[in-house]
Amino acid sequence: MYDVIIIGCGVTGAAAAFELSKYKLKVGILERENDVALGTTKANSAILHAGYDPEPGTLMAKLNVRGVELAKDLCGQLDVPYSPCGSLVLAFSEEERPTLEELYRRGIENGVPGLALLTGDEARTLEPNLSETVVAALHAPSAAICSPWEYCLALAETAVKNGVELRLNTNLTGMEQTADGWTVRTSQGGFDARFVINAAGVDAEAVHNLAAAPSFATAPARGQYYLLDKSEGTRVGRVIFQCPSAVGKGVLVAPTVHGNLIVGPDSEKVSGNDTSTTGDGLRFVRETAQKSVPSINFRESIRNFAGVRASTGRGDFVIEMGAAHFLDLAGICSPGLSAAPAIGEYAAELLAKDGLTLEKKDTFICERHRTRFKELSVAERAALVEKEPAYGRVICRCETVTEGEILEALRSPIPPCSVDGVKRRVNAGMGRCQGGFCGPRVVDILARELGVSPGDIVQDQAGSWLLDRETKGGGANV
């Protein structure tokens, strides 16, 4: 029997697993996809918000500020790309100035450090490419950016190294309460646990309703993005927001930790996990972003994508015991990525109040390292290639990713099984050609190392095959 089973391994579930792996507990994670971070976590703005936006006194406010504080050290310890670039919220008229003043007031009450109200000219001194129509701005130096999928992966890998059992391709089919806790039924059989954590993202409402009477409703909202080439990566050096509205924080313009520029999102209610992009949505994103930074060259776009976030009508995270020994971590929309490690702490605290014994381990491992060949010195590269020749074979030319790095990922605690799984771990396919050159080579390496046919290799989720698979014999036709 498990002490705790976590349903879902996006960044929220991974953070809960990471926190619980510090204790002498048997913990399992059930994830229906073939990899971690395949929901909202892989398709968001990658922003660690400073914490001025949430209403004071809410869980969002408390956990956002604490989460960003924890993230700085965690990203360093777990080798996750991170940049404390800061952010600006722009006002384009005197009518919007009171909104900045309200955000400043909230931020001070929430404990956000270093906030300052700037004039338009002061903002343009920091960011010369801002529009001349900006009349004022709120500067938050504690905001940061990170690699969201690698953040999730790092938390999950560290949890696994500390004894947590991750079960991928395991779809929840039902739950029932028992005298000792819960029996969780899945496509891979049944699992018993004393406690269950619901971290199922957009599907958290459905998971909750298997365990208890309905108490919240999830309203999925889709946000569409542009990802621009590195040639646009220095257009701004900070995260640039516009004054928020009732539908969210609005369209932002921001650098990424990989050197690109990200622009988006819009906000549109959708049914389920609809991550399609639309011409109207992308046009709105483009036109709105150019109000902030008119000089953005959208002809340098290398990818459009969309993510779906899980909102509820409460205006706050839903973090509460939904039933006896059953904890909901639901409605984790923005600032969910920012708050993730603090949500993990809070989840452990609530489970302890509900009877879970938390006894610290003496052997907790909190470190992770990944080889990034292109960041090494010439001498370091030469020494590495002499030791392991695979690091001398460049697979992804755009990002200078080597075969050695891919092999290293395949030997990690949570190895990839798809082309995009490799992409999320080592950046192969992240560059200007978006995998046009390296994709087939990644397929060959995966097939060779996993001992399967190239026809069995998927782009990302189960069923997203790249080759025409023969019905018999496991072969494939291009």
SS3 category, 189: strand
- d(CA 109, CA 123) in angstroms, rounded, equals 23
Tell me the β-bridge partners of 13: none
State whether the Cα torsion 402-405-407-409 is positive or negative: negative
Among left, alpha and beta (phi > 0; psi -120 to 50; other), residue 427 is left
Catalytic amino acids?
49
Measured in degrees and rounded to the nearest 5, phi and psi for residue 120 equal -60, -40
SS3 category, 212: coil
- d(CA 59, CA 52) in angstroms, rounded, equals 13
What does the DSSP assignment read for 73-92?
HHHHHTT--EE---EEEEE-
E runs forming strands in 204-325: 219-228, 239-242, 252-255, 261-264, 268-269, 301-311, 318-323
Query: Cis ω on the peptide bond leading into residue 81 (within 30° of 0)?
Result: no
Closest Cα partner for 141 from 216, 237, 36?
Answer: 237
Radius of gyration of the chain (CA): 22
Q: Distance between terminal CA atoms of the chain? A: 46
Which residue's structure tokens are 């819960």?
182
Q: Is residue 277 within 8 Å of 266, Cβ to Cβ?
A: no
Q: How many CA atoms lie within 13 A of 449 on its CB side?
A: 20
E runs forming strands in 294-357: 301-311, 318-323, 326-330
- d(CA 383, CA 377) in angstroms, rounded, equals 10
- d(CA 150, CA 402) in angstroms, rounded, equals 18
**Pairing of β 144-146 and β 82-83:** antiparallel
DSSP H or E run through 125: helix 120-126
